[in-house]
Amino acid sequence: MSEAMKVARAANVLARWCALRDVSVLDREALADEAGLSEGQADLFVLFGGGVTGTIETLAAAMRADVARRYAIVGGRGHATYWLDQAVERLREEDGSLPVPGVASESEMLDALLFARHGLHADLLETRSTNCGNNITYFLDLLEGEEGVPASVILSQDAVMQRRMDVTWKRQVADRPLFAKTRVVNWPAYEAELACEEGRLVWRQAPEGIWPMEKYLQLLLGEVERLTDDEYGYGPRGRDFVAHVDVPPEVFEAADVLRAACGESGRAPDERFG
């Protein structure tokens, strides 16, 4: 087996594990039958910001499928904003109404793209958060202060970080009794899959604006490191940012393959953002 094939297979194992998904499809029937949501609707659908512009297609589809009563976008400026800035700068050449990169928050840029492409706006924007942890804490502050506590919420994040968003929510609401009964449904904002063609890595499936290949591999490895509950990770035995996660052996094995083949380590935490 070629090195590129090994990398593609290992990366796809990590990607499937990171992209935690609680329903088979995002529609009201699945939300009712598989997630137990009354009338197949959540109180709130939340898209978390990041560097991939294609995530707004998932939000638009969710809004058209009427899977929630309200819709929010969460995200200030953090480690992923650079990539979104670059994408929006290119798109501004065709649509000057888009926000100015380097100034606007991720949520403001994504909401502007949502309107430009689909004529839709989110009901609520959170614009201060800088990382996965305060994506949750600042949003919970906003809900407690102004919007009220939802009985159910659909969390939608960059697929690489979906599992971490779920356990970040679980850890943070442990200190927020008001949210103890909120039902959470995970739905990654995209699907991505690598393949090997003529000895090189290619995207078999990916959204618009997907990470550069090297960055994507770094992010996948970084998630395994962060979610490993030891003194170096983000779990209770480490920095205590997220709830405990049991990492399956096959995920550790895939991470080892990827690390050995690419000489890659995961993305180091940026102390400005986490």
Q: How far apart are CA 21 and CA 156, in angstroms?
A: 9
- Written as one letter, the residue type at 215 is K
Q: How far apart are CA 90 and CA 152, in angstroms?
A: 37
**Cα 82 to the chain's mean position, in Å?**
16
Residues 256, 259, 264, CA angle at the centre, nearest 5°? 160
Domains of the chain: 3-16+199-262 (1.10.3620.10), 20-186 (3.40.50.620)
Q: How far apart are CA 47 and CA 190, in angstroms?
A: 11
What are residue 195's DSSP bridge partners? 202
pLDDT at 28: 98
What are residue 42's DSSP bridge partners? 68
Positive or negative torsion for Cα 258, 58, 122, 47: negative
Instruction: Tell me the pTM.
Output: 0.93
Residue 196 structure tokens: 């090997």
Residue 109 structure tokens: 């840029």
Burial of 190 (0-12, 13-18, 19+ CB in 10 A): buried
C-alpha distances out from residue 199 to 129, 216, 255, Å: 41, 19, 20
Residue 255 structure tokens: 């991470």
Number of other CB atoms surrounding residue 192 within 10 Å: 24
Please measure the distance between the N-terminal and C-terminal CA atoms of the chain and give it in whole angstroms: 37
Residue 215 structure tokens: 């960055």
pLDDT at 264: 60
pLDDT at 266: 54
Q: Report which DSSP code applies to 26.
A: S
Positive or negative torsion for Cα 145, 71, 37, 172: negative
From first to last of the 274 residues of the chain, give the pLDDT tens digit.
788 899 999 999 999 999 999 999 999 999 999 999 999 999 999 999 999 999 999 999 999 999 999 999 999 998 889 999 999 999 999 888 899 888 899 999 999 999 999 999 999 999 999 888 888 999 999 998 777 899 999 999 999 999 999 999 999 999 998 998 999 999 999 999 999 998 899 999 999 999 999 999 999 999 999 999 999 999 999 999 999 999 999 999 999 999 988 776 655 454 443 4
